[in-house]
């Protein structure tokens, strides 16, 4: 009889110890702990640490206080009625410590599937249907992301959820539209290349005009400086250079300056009019 009492005593102590150990929960950093007692959520929110509770009447629900990421793959509509495959990330978090109990009361523990995803799908359809497909593949992507986020916050703001960002990570356009955009971009690049070539040609033509103007001005200056005295001086210099040549030459002159080159083969050219034939024969 005593052995039975001792056995049940040990069993009671063991069960009590197990229940005592099971009535504590660890709330980690980046989490909120909300106690639910007999189905009612308490406004007292626990932060990090070991938190005890009565397992028969209470439970501590942990809510993430960190930024969470939801990856969504969906087909979004465009203004022209095209269906575009897209990969989207939703970055959100619970606003603060005091918002966790209200979120659990109004929405429940599965607030991602209950409100965030449905609100997102509705918002993205409303926003993207106002934009052309090509806008989603250009610099307007950031504008679309902000518009989706703002529209989501109109519904989620009073529920204690803050949507930090909506990111359109990939946009897969229909093949026909993608080909048309590529052709347009290629045509624009070719037009830019042609514009560059035309600018080069214009600069080259301007350079040649400037060079021709310089040559013209130089010749004009030279022509203005060629006085009869200078021409006679240059003729004397030419005769002196010819006289120093070892070859036999015939120089035709009008008495002041040479008129043509020496005759080939030693033949004397016939000249008309008044002129002087001077044969230089040096050996």
| Domain ranges, ordered by start, for the chain | 2-64, 68-178, 228-280
Q: Which fold has domain 68-178?
A: Tetrahydropterin Synthase; Chain A (3.30.479)
pLDDT string in tens for the chain (283-residue length): 555 555 566 666 666 555 555 577 888 888 888 888 888 888 888 888 777 777 778 888 889 989 999 999 988 888 888 888 889 999 999 998 889 999 998 898 899 999 999 999 999 999 999 988 878 877 788 899 999 999 999 999 888 999 999 998 888 776 665 566 666 767 777 888 888 888 888 888 888 989 888 888 887 877 777 677 777 777 777 777 777 777 666 666 665 555 444 444 444 444 343 334 444 444 3
Which pLDDT belongs to residue 254?
A: 60
Residue 93: partners with Cβ closer than 8 Å, 6 or more residues away: 64, 65, 66, 67, 68, 161, 162, 164
């Amino acid at each position: 009889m005593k052995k039975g009492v001792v056995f049940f005593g040990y069993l009671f102590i063991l069960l009590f110890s197990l229940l005592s150990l099971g009535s504590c929960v660890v709330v980690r950093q980046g989490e909120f702990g909300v106690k639910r007692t007999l189905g009612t959520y308490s406004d007292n929110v626990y932060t990090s640490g070991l938190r005890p509770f009565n397992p028969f009447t209470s439970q501590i629900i942990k809510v993430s206080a960190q930024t969470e990421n939801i990856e969504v793959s969906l087909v979004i509509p465009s203004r022209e009625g095209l269906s575009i495959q897209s990969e989207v990330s939703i970055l959100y978090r619970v606003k603060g410590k005091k918002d966790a109990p209200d979120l659990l009361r109004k929405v429940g523990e599965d607030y991602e599937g209950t409100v965030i995803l449905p609100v997102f799908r509705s918002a993205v359809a409303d926003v993207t249907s106002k934009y052309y497909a090509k806008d989603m593949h250009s610099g307007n992507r950031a504008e679309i992301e902000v518009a989706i986020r703002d529209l989501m916050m109109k519904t989620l703001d009073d529920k204690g959820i803050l949507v930090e960002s909506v990111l359109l990570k990939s946009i897969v356009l229909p093949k026909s539209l993608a080909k048309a955009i590529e052709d347009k971009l290629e045509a624009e690049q070719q037009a830019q290349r042609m514009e560059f070539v035309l600018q080069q040609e214009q600069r080259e033509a301007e350079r040649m005009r400037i060079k021709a103007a310089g040559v013209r001005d130089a010749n004009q200056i030279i022509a203005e400086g060629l006085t009869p005295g200078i021409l006679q001086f240059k003729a004397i210099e030419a005769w002196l250079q010819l006289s120093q040549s070892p070859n036999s030459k015939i120089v035709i002159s009008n008495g002041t300056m040479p008129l043509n080159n020496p005759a080939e083969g030693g033949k004397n050219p016939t000249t008309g009019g008044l002129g002087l034939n001077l044969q230089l024969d040096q050996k």
